[in-house]
Structure 1
């Protein structure tokens, strides 16, 4: 199960939602969508492609950042 963060943020400049993966270095924005739902679906595809590219090149995948809930 993939546990990487996905950031979806509206961009007035681009007039669309931008998708980024902060756990991956030098990967500010990787995808986009005209709607939030489209950005989410495109982001999932982009993340899968990014992981495959890392694996095919032999690069080590970054360690996902985690959040711990303190009660």
Structure 2
């Protein structure tokens, strides 16, 4: 399913902010350090916003016409066109099964406390990756 939405790109202080007037009440959805990066981030943001609407079983809003969009001096409009199903598959988190070995006493203690091993491993990996 190909989808096209207008995005308003605002250039302020060497940052390119991108927002979708049809999808959000606040103006900016995301940003990039370059115009190209803002477009890429905008695509991902658009897919996530549409995914939220899809989960809520809401219809996607009708895209605005360029003539109806009011711009400020430091703003421009870019149409973001994407194949929604394909882009959604790129953004969606996929999981990989990993096998690990732990001491038996930790296994017993964790099971007695109903600890989710996958969740603990994910949290520990995220923490470790943020500190490196």
Question: Normalised by the size of structure 2, how large is the TM-score?
Answer: 0.45
**2-side partners of 1:27 and 1:56: how far apart?**
21
Equivalent in the alignment of 1:18: 17
SS in 1 for 2:3: coil
Alignment of 1:28-39 (within 5 A): 28-39=27-38
Contact map agreement 1:21 1:27 (CA 8 A) in 2: no
Greater relative CO (CA pairs within 8 A, separation 6+):
2
Superposition CA RMSD, Å: 1.7
Q: Which has the higher helix share?
A: 2
SS in 1 for 2:41: helix
Is there any run of 5+ residues in structure 1 with no aligned partner, and where? none
Equivalent in the alignment of 1:57: 56
SS in 2 for 1:52: helix
CA deviation after TM superposition for structure 1 residue 43, in Å: 0.4
**2-side partners of 1:67 and 1:19: how far apart?**
15
Q: How many residues align?
A: 66
Equivalent in the alignment of 2:77: none
SS in 2 for 1:22: coil
**1-side partners of 2:52 and 2:6: how far apart?**
18
CA deviation after TM superposition for structure 1 residue 29, in Å: 0.6
Q: Where does structure 1 differ by over 3 angstroms across 4 or more consecutive aligned residues? A: none
